[in-house]
Amino acid sequence: MDHRLTPEEENAIIEDALTNIPLAPMPRSLTANVMARIQKDDRPVLFARNDFVISLVIALCVGALFFAIQNLPPVMVMEIRKQSILAYQDFLVNSRWLVPSILFGLSAFFAALTIPYLGRQLKS
């Protein structure tokens, strides 16, 4: 539209065009052309072979871990318990600096992952 016209003049021109110019008939092949462009998506498979293999491997690992824990010698069970208590006490003693450093490290890691992506998004 011409920007020198007032809105009333623009509306008058549009109304005149709508009332005086006949509408073109819709082509008969329009629906067929549109339907030909639509790609029919097959239903996705609920379980792929990879899903089954991954679940089988995880189940076998959990079963092997359970079997190994049930058959540990009593001396090793006591050693694992002692080491877990020592690790917990070490965490309590060092948590003043350990927890913030882990959190800052994780935030730096996630920033390093996302900042280049966001920079590419802003450039495009």
Tell me the two tokens of residue 62. Answer: 């959990």
pLDDT value of residue 52: 92
Tens digit of each residue's pLDDT (9 = 90 or more) over 58-89 = 999 999 999 998 999 999 999 999 999 999 99
pLDDT value of residue 41: 64
Residues with pLDDT less than 50, the chain: none
Tell me the two tokens of residue 91. Answer: 């965490």
pLDDT value of residue 5: 83
- In angstroms, the CA 96 to CA 90 distance is 11
Q: Under 8 Å CB-to-CB from 42, ≥6 apart: which residues?
A: none
Task: Give the residue extent of every domain in the chain.
Answer: 7-37
